[in-house]
Amino acid sequence: FNRPGLNISQLITRNDFESAIKTEVEDSHICINESLVAAGLKATDIDKVILTGGSSQVPLFHQMLTEMFSSDR
Query: In which band, very low, low, confident or very high, does the pLDDT at 38 lie, cut at 50, 70 and 90?
Result: very high
Looking at residue 19, what is its pLDDT? 96
Looking at residue 2, what is its pLDDT? 63
Question: Can you say how many angstroms the Cα of residue 66 is from the centroid of all Cα atoms in its chain?
Answer: 10
Mean pLDDT of 1-16: 83
Report the C-alpha gap between 24 and 30 in whole angstroms: 10
Looking at residue 56, what is its pLDDT? 85
